[in-house]
Structure 1
Amino acid sequence: MKLLFDQNLSRKLVSRLADIFPDSSHVQFHQLAEKTDTEIWKFAKTGDFCIVTQDADFAERSRLYGSPPKVIWLRCGNAPTPEIEALMRSGVEAIQELLSNPSLHCLELY
Protein backbone atom coordinates (compact mmCIF):
# COMPACT_ATOMS: atom_id res chain seq x y z
CA MET A 1 0.00 0.00 0.00
CA LYS A 2 1.17 3.49 -0.82
CA LEU A 3 1.19 6.51 1.46
CA LEU A 4 -0.71 9.70 0.66
CA PHE A 5 0.66 12.68 2.56
CA ASP A 6 -1.96 15.22 3.58
CA GLN A 7 -1.76 18.94 2.85
CA ASN A 8 -0.39 19.72 6.31
CA LEU A 9 2.80 17.76 5.54
CA SER A 10 5.64 18.65 3.19
CA ARG A 11 5.67 17.31 -0.37
CA LYS A 12 9.38 16.61 0.22
CA LEU A 13 8.46 13.60 2.36
CA VAL A 14 7.52 11.68 -0.79
CA SER A 15 11.09 11.71 -2.10
CA ARG A 16 12.74 11.62 1.32
CA LEU A 17 10.92 8.39 2.23
CA ALA A 18 10.87 6.78 -1.23
CA ASP A 19 13.44 4.18 -0.18
CA ILE A 20 11.04 2.65 2.37
CA PHE A 21 7.66 3.77 1.00
CA PRO A 22 7.92 3.72 -2.81
CA ASP A 23 4.97 4.84 -4.93
CA SER A 24 3.78 7.24 -2.24
CA SER A 25 2.37 10.64 -3.13
CA HIS A 26 1.08 13.95 -1.81
CA VAL A 27 -2.41 15.43 -2.11
CA GLN A 28 -1.01 18.39 -4.09
CA PHE A 29 0.20 16.03 -6.83
CA HIS A 30 -3.44 15.03 -7.44
CA GLN A 31 -5.07 18.46 -7.22
CA LEU A 32 -6.55 17.56 -3.82
CA ALA A 33 -5.00 20.39 -1.78
CA GLU A 34 -8.24 22.37 -1.67
CA LYS A 35 -10.57 19.37 -1.54
CA THR A 36 -12.61 18.22 1.44
CA ASP A 37 -11.60 15.41 3.76
CA THR A 38 -14.35 13.31 2.20
CA GLU A 39 -12.91 13.77 -1.29
CA ILE A 40 -9.40 12.93 -0.08
CA TRP A 41 -10.77 9.87 1.76
CA LYS A 42 -12.51 8.62 -1.40
CA PHE A 43 -9.39 9.22 -3.52
CA ALA A 44 -7.22 7.31 -1.03
CA LYS A 45 -9.71 4.46 -0.88
CA THR A 46 -9.94 4.00 -4.65
CA GLY A 47 -6.20 4.56 -5.16
CA ASP A 48 -5.19 2.06 -2.43
CA PHE A 49 -3.41 4.76 -0.41
CA CYS A 50 -2.88 5.02 3.34
CA ILE A 51 -3.41 8.61 4.49
CA VAL A 52 -0.60 10.20 6.51
CA THR A 53 -1.81 13.25 8.39
CA GLN A 54 -1.57 15.46 11.45
CA ASP A 55 -5.34 16.03 11.24
CA ALA A 56 -7.46 14.34 13.92
CA ASP A 57 -10.43 14.33 11.51
CA PHE A 58 -9.00 11.45 9.48
CA ALA A 59 -8.32 9.42 12.62
CA GLU A 60 -11.91 9.98 13.75
CA ARG A 61 -13.20 9.02 10.31
CA SER A 62 -11.12 5.84 10.53
CA ARG A 63 -12.72 4.98 13.88
CA LEU A 64 -16.18 5.51 12.41
CA TYR A 65 -15.75 3.78 9.04
CA GLY A 66 -12.76 1.48 9.42
CA SER A 67 -10.59 0.94 6.39
CA PRO A 68 -9.78 1.25 3.61
CA PRO A 69 -8.14 3.66 3.62
CA LYS A 70 -5.89 3.21 6.60
CA VAL A 71 -4.63 6.26 8.47
CA ILE A 72 -1.30 7.18 10.04
CA TRP A 73 -1.91 10.01 12.48
CA LEU A 74 1.28 11.91 13.31
CA ARG A 75 0.96 13.34 16.83
CA CYS A 76 4.20 15.34 16.81
CA GLY A 77 2.75 18.82 16.48
CA ASN A 78 4.10 21.32 14.00
CA ALA A 79 7.49 19.64 13.56
CA PRO A 80 10.00 20.35 10.80
CA THR A 81 10.17 17.94 7.88
CA PRO A 82 13.40 16.20 9.04
CA GLU A 83 11.73 15.38 12.37
CA ILE A 84 8.66 13.99 10.63
CA GLU A 85 10.90 11.92 8.37
CA ALA A 86 12.73 10.57 11.43
CA LEU A 87 9.40 9.74 13.11
CA MET A 88 8.24 7.83 10.03
CA ARG A 89 11.54 5.96 9.80
CA SER A 90 11.51 5.04 13.48
CA GLY A 91 7.94 3.80 13.12
CA VAL A 92 8.48 1.78 9.95
CA GLU A 93 7.79 -1.58 11.63
CA ALA A 94 4.55 -0.33 13.18
CA ILE A 95 3.54 1.18 9.82
CA GLN A 96 4.22 -2.10 8.03
CA GLU A 97 2.12 -3.92 10.64
CA LEU A 98 -0.73 -1.43 10.09
CA LEU A 99 -0.56 -1.90 6.33
CA SER A 100 -0.47 -5.69 6.46
CA ASN A 101 -2.97 -6.35 9.26
CA PRO A 102 -6.61 -6.16 8.09
CA SER A 103 -7.88 -5.66 11.65
CA LEU A 104 -5.90 -2.41 12.12
CA HIS A 105 -7.27 0.86 10.75
CA CYS A 106 -5.31 3.72 12.31
CA LEU A 107 -1.83 4.14 13.76
CA GLU A 108 -0.84 7.03 16.00
CA LEU A 109 2.86 7.92 15.92
CA TYR A 110 4.35 10.21 18.57
Structure 2
Amino acid sequence: MDLLIAIDAVLVLATALVTFAVVRRDLGRGTAAAVSAAVGAVVGLSWFLVVYLAVAAYVAALLAYVVARRLWSVRAAALGGVAAYGVVALASLAAFWVALDTM
Protein backbone atom coordinates (compact mmCIF):
# COMPACT_ATOMS: atom_id res chain seq x y z
CA MET A 1 0.00 0.00 0.00
CA ASP A 2 2.89 2.36 0.73
CA LEU A 3 4.15 1.90 -2.82
CA LEU A 4 0.75 2.85 -4.27
CA ILE A 5 0.64 6.01 -2.19
CA ALA A 6 4.21 6.90 -3.18
CA ILE A 7 3.43 6.39 -6.86
CA ASP A 8 0.29 8.51 -6.49
CA ALA A 9 2.22 11.28 -4.76
CA VAL A 10 4.78 11.37 -7.58
CA LEU A 11 1.95 11.36 -10.12
CA VAL A 12 0.21 14.28 -8.40
CA LEU A 13 3.43 16.29 -8.28
CA ALA A 14 4.33 15.54 -11.90
CA THR A 15 0.89 16.39 -13.29
CA ALA A 16 0.75 19.60 -11.26
CA LEU A 17 4.18 20.71 -12.45
CA VAL A 18 3.48 19.92 -16.10
CA THR A 19 0.10 21.64 -15.92
CA PHE A 20 1.66 24.73 -14.34
CA ALA A 21 4.28 24.88 -17.09
CA VAL A 22 1.61 24.65 -19.80
CA VAL A 23 -1.00 27.08 -18.43
CA ARG A 24 1.21 29.67 -16.70
CA ARG A 25 1.51 31.87 -19.77
CA ASP A 26 -2.24 31.83 -20.41
CA LEU A 27 -3.57 32.25 -16.89
CA GLY A 28 -0.90 34.04 -14.87
CA ARG A 29 0.99 32.71 -11.86
CA GLY A 30 -1.71 32.65 -9.17
CA THR A 31 -4.47 31.17 -11.26
CA ALA A 32 -2.08 28.68 -12.87
CA ALA A 33 -0.99 27.50 -9.42
CA ALA A 34 -4.61 26.95 -8.36
CA VAL A 35 -5.47 25.14 -11.59
CA SER A 36 -2.34 22.99 -11.30
CA ALA A 37 -3.18 21.99 -7.73
CA ALA A 38 -6.73 21.08 -8.74
CA VAL A 39 -5.53 19.04 -11.73
CA GLY A 40 -3.00 17.22 -9.58
CA ALA A 41 -5.67 16.40 -7.01
CA VAL A 42 -8.16 15.16 -9.61
CA VAL A 43 -5.60 12.98 -11.39
CA GLY A 44 -4.31 11.67 -8.07
CA LEU A 45 -7.77 10.73 -6.83
CA SER A 46 -8.87 9.21 -10.12
CA TRP A 47 -5.67 7.15 -10.18
CA PHE A 48 -7.14 5.03 -7.40
CA LEU A 49 -10.14 4.22 -9.63
CA VAL A 50 -8.62 3.66 -13.05
CA VAL A 51 -4.94 3.20 -12.12
CA TYR A 52 -2.63 3.87 -15.09
CA LEU A 53 -5.46 5.02 -17.36
CA ALA A 54 -5.69 8.22 -15.30
CA VAL A 55 -2.38 9.18 -16.88
CA ALA A 56 -3.81 8.45 -20.34
CA ALA A 57 -6.79 10.67 -19.55
CA TYR A 58 -4.45 13.43 -18.35
CA VAL A 59 -2.36 13.23 -21.52
CA ALA A 60 -5.54 13.38 -23.64
CA ALA A 61 -6.73 16.43 -21.71
CA LEU A 62 -3.37 18.15 -22.02
CA LEU A 63 -3.23 17.46 -25.74
CA ALA A 64 -6.80 18.74 -26.19
CA TYR A 65 -5.91 21.90 -24.27
CA VAL A 66 -2.77 22.62 -26.29
CA VAL A 67 -4.47 22.03 -29.64
CA ALA A 68 -7.61 24.01 -28.74
CA ARG A 69 -5.50 26.87 -27.36
CA ARG A 70 -3.83 27.25 -30.74
CA LEU A 71 -7.18 27.26 -32.57
CA TRP A 72 -9.55 29.06 -30.18
CA SER A 73 -9.56 30.94 -26.91
CA VAL A 74 -8.11 29.87 -23.56
CA ARG A 75 -11.61 29.33 -22.17
CA ALA A 76 -12.53 26.98 -25.03
CA ALA A 77 -9.23 25.18 -24.56
CA ALA A 78 -9.87 24.71 -20.84
CA LEU A 79 -13.37 23.38 -21.46
CA GLY A 80 -12.02 21.05 -24.14
CA GLY A 81 -9.37 19.75 -21.77
CA VAL A 82 -11.91 19.11 -19.03
CA ALA A 83 -14.22 17.37 -21.49
CA ALA A 84 -11.40 15.21 -22.86
CA TYR A 85 -10.34 14.19 -19.36
CA GLY A 86 -13.88 13.34 -18.38
CA VAL A 87 -14.59 11.28 -21.48
CA VAL A 88 -11.35 9.28 -21.31
CA ALA A 89 -11.62 8.74 -17.54
CA LEU A 90 -15.24 7.56 -17.80
CA ALA A 91 -14.40 5.31 -20.74
CA SER A 92 -11.53 3.84 -18.72
CA LEU A 93 -13.80 3.28 -15.74
CA ALA A 94 -16.35 1.59 -18.01
CA ALA A 95 -13.64 -0.64 -19.47
CA PHE A 96 -12.55 -1.69 -15.98
CA TRP A 97 -16.16 -2.35 -14.99
CA VAL A 98 -16.81 -4.53 -18.03
CA ALA A 99 -13.54 -6.41 -17.53
CA LEU A 100 -14.31 -7.12 -13.87
CA ASP A 101 -17.93 -7.97 -14.60
CA THR A 102 -17.02 -10.61 -17.19
CA MET A 103 -14.42 -12.37 -15.04
TM superposition score normalised by structure 1: 0.33
Flag the structure with higher helix content: 2
TM-score using structure 2 length: 0.35
Greater relative contact order, per chain length (Cα 8 Å cut-off, separation 6+): 1
Hey, which of these two has a bigger chunk of strand by percent?
1
